[in-house]
Chains A and B, each alone.
Chain A
């Protein structure tokens, strides 16, 4: 179980407890967080679950796969902290993770 804090584009914050093994995306979508469209539902097909991981967390995540890196190329306004949230899977080590939701996914 890990607590993840979502910071919306307007600065509003919401924290969710997400069970180990679930992705940040899935926790967000099922937990009612707006702004993570995740159209393909976690299949690394749509690049609409893009988040900016907090700078002090980005290096602590497992590295992205080639598929994720390819798909990240389609996301909007990416930077070096960008990840597809459907590929960030929670473990106890990620308790306290903070992600920023971009203003748009398209």
Chain B
């Protein structure tokens, strides 16, 4: 999808492609330069739909949470009528952060610096004696909380865009919509963010985590320890099982810079793939879940939801991994070599206690910063970032794997190329 009209050859400053020759290179300067980051802020983070939060995080009217999105502090909240809003979390007076808690429930917000107060729909709500400000001060909305220009949602995933003229979220999502549907359809009762937020930093460029998040090729090498442990639990040989899955996994361009790998992994999936370690009860429960799913969405779709694993990147830096649990992850650069990561677990509403336990065990065991995967991935990314100091003598990354194939597999690098082509269109072509 979406590669029909991209040029066969590109010789940009940072991204170079020669498709007939099967070669794709990315300049390491893209990972190290302050100028590149400044341009990314202008052309990517200020002109893309960025994930704000999931509707389930604000269950009641007047609920709010605060979050840094694309370099700015935001309030994501619901007003007294339950409408969703996104405001810049900065006092219109002289800039202090207005909502200082991570989350809560409040009818209004009061700035701690000079006491300016606001209705939770953003309206300025502070009386001052006559003569202090001009007559009618604030009636024009000029000292209301500033709104983020655009806020839209799809299947309860809320996004913001700092560009008031951006295309709509629905169109922007392109082929990623279908994948969000596959995730949202796990449950007959809707999905919800569960548990706390995982927050951690990585001393590496944000685009390294984009690449890592849908990289199939690194799994056996970087996460060898995990797969050995997994196989000892499951009871089959690592290599046999993985080899059998090679032909199932694919790298897929979803359009607009979004991409995913989809395949079949050996671990258990709470939505529909049991492993022996979950016992007879676990198997029975999974069978019941798959039966309900099949009745609801039909056999083909149910099989895809239950028995296929998906790692998806939505441009620029939202990752949704629907694997042994579901992780929703965002990450933003604070410097070319520093990113802050936020990660959440998504789960079906009304899941059984046992299923929820299995899911959270998986989430912590593999996906979290204390789990089997992330620490090794962090080591890989930070190692690459250190290696980029040699850019003067080793200037290019190679991401050619599978470029000559009709249908690249999960171990190829089509996913990365989809991201980089979109990145280059913005950064080099000004699109």
Contact = CB atoms under 8 A, between A and B. Distances in A.
A48 interface: yes
A74 interface: yes
Given A45-B125, A47-B127, A74-B127, A38 B107 contact: yes
Q: Which of A26, A29, A40 has the most CB of B within 10 A?
A: A40
Task: For chain A, give the interface size range.
Answer: 10 to 19
Contacts of A46: 117, 125-127
Contacts of A13: none
Interface string B73-112: 0000000100000000000000000000000001111100
Contacts of B119: 37, 39-41
Contacts of A26: 107
Contacts, number: 50
A93 interface: no
B118 interface: yes
B123 interface: yes
Contact of B107 (A29, A47, A71, A74): A29
A39 B123 contact: yes
A41 to B, nearest CB: 2
A42 B106 CA distance: 9
Interface in A17-75: 26, 29-30, 37-43, 45-48, 71, 74
Nearest to A26: B107
Contacts of B125: 39-41, 45-46, 48
Contact of B108 (A30, A42, A74): A42
B115 interface: yes
Contact of B118 (A37, A40, A42, A47): A40
Nearest to B105: A30
B107 A45 contact: no
21 contacts: A29-B107, A38-B107, A39-B108, A39-B117, A39-B118, A39-B123, A40-B108, A40-B110, A40-B118, A40-B125, A40-B126, A41-B109, A41-B119, A42-B108, A43-B110, A45-B110, A45-B116, A45-B125, A46-B125, A46-B126, A74-B127
